[in-house]
Amino acid sequence: MALFAVFQTSFLLALLSLRAYQSEVLVEPLPLTPESLNVSIDSAHQYLNLQWSVHSLAYYQELKMLFQIQISRMKTSNVIWVGNYSTVVKRDPVLHWSWKSELPLECATHFVRMRSRVDDAKIPEPRFWSNWSSWKEADAQKSLGRDPLFLFPKDKLVEEGSNVTICYMSRNQQDNISCYLEGQQIHGEQLDSNVSAFKLNKVSFIRKTGTNIFCKVDQKDVIKGIVLFVSKVLEEPKDFSCETQDFKTLTCTWDPGTDTSLPKRSSQSYTLFESFSGKKILCEHKNSCNWQVDSDSQEMYNFTLVAENALGNRSVSVLFSLTHRVHPKTPYNLFLKNVSGTKATVTWKVHPIGNYSTLLCQLDLLGEGNVIQQHNVSIKENGEYLLSELEPDTEYMARVRCADANHFWKWSGSISQKFITAEAAPSEALDVWRNVKSVSGRPTVTLFWKPLSKLHANGKILSYNVTVENLDRPSGLEVHSVPATANGTELTLDQDSYQIHVTALNSAGPSPASVIVVSGDPGNEEVEEERVNGTEDGFSVSWKPQSGKAIGYVVEWCDHPQDLPCDLQWKNLSSNTTSTVISSGAFRPGVRYNFRIYEISTERMAYLLEKKAGYLKELAPSDNPQVVVSNLTSHSFTLSWKDYSTDSQLGFIQGYYVYLRSKAEKECHPGFKKATLPDKSACCQHRIDNPEQKTFVMENLQPESVYEFLVTPYTSAGSGPLDAFTKVTTPDEYSHILIRIILPMIVCVLLIMITCYLKSQWMKEKCYPDIPDPYKSNVLSLIKSKENPHLTIMNVSDCVPDAIEVIHKPEGSKIQFLGASKSLTETEFTKPAYLYLLPAEKNYSGPGPCICFENLTYNEAAADSGSCGHFPVTPEALPGQPGPLTSPENLLKALEKNYMNSLGETAAGEASLNYVSQLASQMSGDKDSLPANPPEPVLCSEYKMQMAIPLGLASPPPAENSGLSSTTPLDQSEHYR
C-alpha cells in the first residue's frame, strides 16, 4: 500500500513537470502582454481613452488578438465593467480603445487593467491569457480646484427619452446637500462619503435653453448646477422620393419630421448620396434637395438620404429608374372655342419633357362639381379635344392634367377653365293641368304648369304663351303671354269647348306645345268619395278605367288642403296605369287629403273618375264638439252637437263616446258601460258608432240630481280629450206643475197691475182729485157771465183783510208752520187745518161773512181718513157743527151760492171774508224759525185753492184757537194773489 502511494505521487509530480515545461515552450515565443497602458479622460464625451502597445511580434506581420479589459471605480477591487476587445495587431502597434462611462468621470476615480490572448488561427491551440497589466488610475478630481461643490456632467446633450446619470461631489463631508431638477428635489445614490449620483430615466424635452439641475449646500449660499440639453429625437426622413420634370434636374423631397435644433447647437443636416456615381451633396434645405442629371447615360439611381445631428444619424434609401420618375409640369394655355349648345372644343399646351416622350393628358368635364366626362388624350406638346353631348345653357369646367404616357409616375398639376354652353329651345312640353270652376255663372279655367327643369328649359325662360282655340265655334286664336315668373294663369270662357296650347319660350325658341281641352260643362261631379289609406311612402291610389279610351290619367290633390290656395298638385299617368303612389314632402299626419282621379280622353279632355280621401296617418281628435243641452226634464235631457264637422278632423270620425257620471248613481244606465277616466275616476260610457248621429237623449235620470257628461269623437287613432265635463242638474218632479199654476197667477197679477196703471188717472180722479184752479172754476165763469171784469176771485184789494189766522193743531208745545204739516202725525190732527182771514176793523166784534180757504193737499188728516170728502164749511156747518159735503160739485154749488151772496154783502161793505188757506211762503223751508219769528205776510204768495166761506162758518172753536191759532195783522197795502 505504501509503495502504491509513493508511485502515485511520483506520477503526479512528473505530470506537473511536463505541463510546466509545455507552458514555457508556448508562452515564451509570444510574450504579448499589453504594455505601456495609458488612460486619459475625455470629459466632454465622458470617455476613458485607453492606449497601449504590444511587443515582440517578431514572427508575424500581424496577429489577431483579444484583449480583456477590466474597469474599477473608486478602488481596484470594485470592478464595474469587464469586456473584450478584439483587433488585429500589426508590428509595433499602438492600440486605442475607449470606454464610455455613464457616471461622469469627474465624480469618481477609475482604474483600468487589461490582459491579452492570441486569437489567430495561425497560432495553434491551446492559447493562454497573458498576465494582467498593472492597474492604471484615471482621476479627474485632481484638476477640479477647491470649490466646495461640483456637479457633473456639464452641458450634456442627450436625446429625448434617454437615461442620464448625474453626480455631485462635495469637498466637505459635513455639508448637507440637496439637489433639484426643475425645482423638484431629487434623491440619488451615495457612491462615496462625498459623492452621490442621480439616474434620470427617459428625460423629456422641457425647453430649448435646457433643463436646469442644481444642488445647494444647506445653510450656505452655495449653488452649483448643470444644464442638460435634451434634444428631440432625430427622426428618419419620411416620404423620401425623387422625380424629374425635364430630365435635367432630379428633385428629391422628404418629410424631415421634428426639428432637433437647440440654441447654439445646429439642427440636423441632410446629405444626399448616390451610390452608382459615388457623388454626395449636402442639402441646403431640410426637406428637399436638387440633384443635377449630368448626362443621359445614367438610367438608374440609388439615393441615400442621411439625416445627422450631434447625437446620431438616420438614413433612408431609394432606388429608381429616371424614366420612371417623370413628373410633368402643369399644362398651360387651356382655352375653349366653338362653344355651342351641345359641343365645345378644348385646347391646351404642355411643356415638352424630351424629344421622344409622349404625355398622356386627362381631360375632365365637370358640371356642378362632379366629373361628367373624362377623356384621355396622348399628345406631344399641343392638345385638343372636342367635347360633345353637352347640355345647353349649362356651366361646365374643363380640367386637364398630364403624366408620362410610358411610365406613369405622377399627374402633373391641373389647369382648368369654366365655360357656359349656348341656349337652345326648351326640349319638353310643359306639364299643364287645369281647374275649372264657375264664377258668376261663367266657367273660369285656371291653368297650372310646372316650371321646366334646367335640363329641359335649355336656357332662361322668358315667357309662356297660352293659345286658346274655340272648338265649337271656329274663330280666331286667342293668345295670352304670361310672364316667366308665373306658373299659371286664369281664363274666363263660356260654355263652349276650348283647346288650350301652352308653350314656354326662351331666347332660342318655344318649347313643344302642351295641349289641354276644357269644357264649360264640369261633367259628373257626383262621384262617391272613397277612402284611401296612407303609408310612409304616401297614398296608394288605384282606380277603375271607365271608357277604355283614355290616353292617360291625372291624379289631383292639394298639398295644403287647409290653406288657400291649397297648392294644387297633379300627377300624370299613362293610360295603362290604374294605380299609383302619391307621395309628397308636404304630407303631414292628421291632415285629410282629397284625391281626384281624372281620365284624359282622346280629345284631351279630363273627366272625373273617382274621388279618394285619406290621411297619411290618422290622429286622435284634438277637440270635442260643442254640445247643446235641451229638453231638460227631471228624468232626461237631450245632447246635440250638430255643428260638429266630421270632414275637417285629424282622422275619419268613426263615432262618438258619450260619458256620463253622477254622484247619485253608481250603476250605469242601459246602453252605458263602466269606464275609467285618465284621472282614475269611474264613469259610464256609451258608444255611438254612427258619425252622423249628432244627438243623444239621456234618459232614466234622477230628479234633482247633478249629472256630468262629455261627448268626444273617436277615430281609428283614439278618442278626443277627456277633460271638460259639463254639469247638468235635473229639476224636481213637480216643478213643472208649480210652474203651470204660478205662471198664470203671475200673469194675472201683472195684468191687474197694468190695468191699474193704465187707469191710474181715473183712480186718481176718483180718489185724489186735483185742487181746482180758481181761475178755471165755474165761479169765474159766473162772474164773467155777470160782465163785471173787475171782479176776480182772491182779489185781496177787494177783500181788505186785516189779519190771517192760522188754525192748526190744537195741542203740542211747538208751533208748526203750515208748510211743515207733514211732521204731524195722524193722531195730532183732529180737525182740518184752516186759514181764516179775519176782518181787522176795530168795530168788528162778532161773526160776519168771510172767505175760508182749505188746503186739501196738506190736510193729511182729511186725506188719511179714507174719505174722499171732508166736512164742508157751510153756514150751517161751521166749526162745531160739522156736516159732510157729499161731493165737490156740491161744494162748488155751495160756494157759488155763498159767493154770490157775499158779493152782494161786500159791495155793501158789510160783509167780511175769512180766508182759510196755506201760504206758499218763501219761508216754508225755515220751519224752526217760525216760533221765534212769526210769519210775515209775503207778497205774491199764491193760494192753490180758495174757498169763500161765510165768516160765521169760518170761526174756529175757541178752545182750539187758544192752542194753535196765531193772528197776524195785515197791512192794507199788502195783497195776496
Residues making contact with another protein (CB under 8 A): 154-155, 180, 182-183, 206-207, 209-212, 214, 216, 221, 223-227, 263-264
Length of the chain: 977
Measured from the CB of residue 114, what is the shortest distance to another protein in angstroms?
32
Measured from the CB of residue 153, what is the shortest distance to another protein in angstroms?
11
Nearer to another protein, 42 or 732 (CB): 42
Residue found under cell 367635347: 387
CA dist 173 to 139, 176, 194, 197, 198, Å? Answer: 19, 8, 5, 15, 18
Contacts of 440 (CB under 8 A, 6+ apart): none
Nearer to another protein, 213 or 619 (CB): 213
Select from 288, 169, 299 the least CA-distant residue to 237. Answer: 288
Phi, psi at residue 890, to the nearest 5°?
A: -65, -40
Nearer to another protein, 263 or 909 (CB): 263
Measured from the CB of residue 214, what is the shortest distance to another protein in angstroms?
7
Write the Ramachandran bin of 794: left for phi over 0, alpha for psi from -120 to 50, otherwise beta: left
Measured from the CB of residue 338, what is the shortest distance to another protein in angstroms?
60
Measured from the CB of residue 152, what is the shortest distance to another protein in angstroms?
11
Nearer to another protein, 207 or 759 (CB): 207
Nearer to another protein, 212 or 633 (CB): 212
Nearer to another protein, 213 or 862 (CB): 213
Measured from the CB of residue 222, what is the shortest distance to another protein in angstroms?
10
Residue type, 318: V
Residue type, 447: L
Nearer to another protein, 196 or 906 (CB): 196
Measured from the CB of residue 145, what is the shortest distance to another protein in angstroms?
12
Please give the Cα distance from 100 to 393 (Å, whole number). Answer: 80
Nearer to another protein, 180 or 273 (CB): 180
DSSP β-bridge partners for residue 373: 365
Measured from the CB of residue 155, what is the shortest distance to another protein in angstroms?
5
CB distance 613 to 646 below 8 Å: no
Measured from the CB of residue 229, what is the shortest distance to another protein in angstroms?
8
DSSP 331: P
Nearer to another protein, 152 or 595 (CB): 152
Question: If you write DSSP's letter for every residue of 584-616 in order, what string do you get?
Answer: -TT--TT-EEEEEEEEEPTTSBEEEEEEEEEES
Residue 559 burial (CB < 10 Å; 0-12/13-18/19+)? middle
| Kind of pairing between the strands at 592-600 and 606-615 | antiparallel
Measured from the CB of residue 219, what is the shortest distance to another protein in angstroms?
14
Please give the Cα distance from 505 to 464 (Å, whole number). Answer: 6
Measured from the CB of residue 154, what is the shortest distance to another protein in angstroms?
6
Contacts of 651 (CB under 8 A, 6+ apart): 590, 615, 618, 619, 620, 621, 715, 716, 717
Nearer to another protein, 106 or 860 (CB): 106
Residue found under cell 391641373: 414
Select from 366, 368, 405 the least CA-distant residue to 383. Answer: 405
Contacts of 746 (CB under 8 A, 6+ apart): none
* End-to-end Cα spacing for the chain: 205
Contacts of 44 (CB under 8 A, 6+ apart): none
Measured from the CB of residue 234, what is the shortest distance to another protein in angstroms?
22
Measured from the CB of residue 151, what is the shortest distance to another protein in angstroms?
8
Please give the Cα distance from 573 to 55 (Å, whole number). Answer: 113
Phi, psi at residue 55, to the nearest 5°?
A: -105, 175
Select from 901, 903, 682 the least CA-distant residue to 790. Answer: 903
Select from 945, 870, 947, 942 the least CA-distant residue to 902. Answer: 947
Measured from the CB of residue 394, what is the shortest distance to another protein in angstroms?
52
Please, what is the angle between helix 888-907 and helix 778-785, to 10°? 40
Nearer to another protein, 223 or 749 (CB): 223
Nearer to another protein, 221 or 536 (CB): 221
Nearer to another protein, 264 or 776 (CB): 264
Nearer to another protein, 150 or 899 (CB): 150
Question: If you write DSSP's letter for every residue of 614-642 in order, what string do you get?
Answer: EESS----SS----EEES--SS-EEEE-T
CB distance 888 to 769 below 8 Å: yes
| Kind of pairing between the strands at 269-274 and 149-152 | unpaired
Can you tell me whether residue 861 is helix, strand or coil? helix
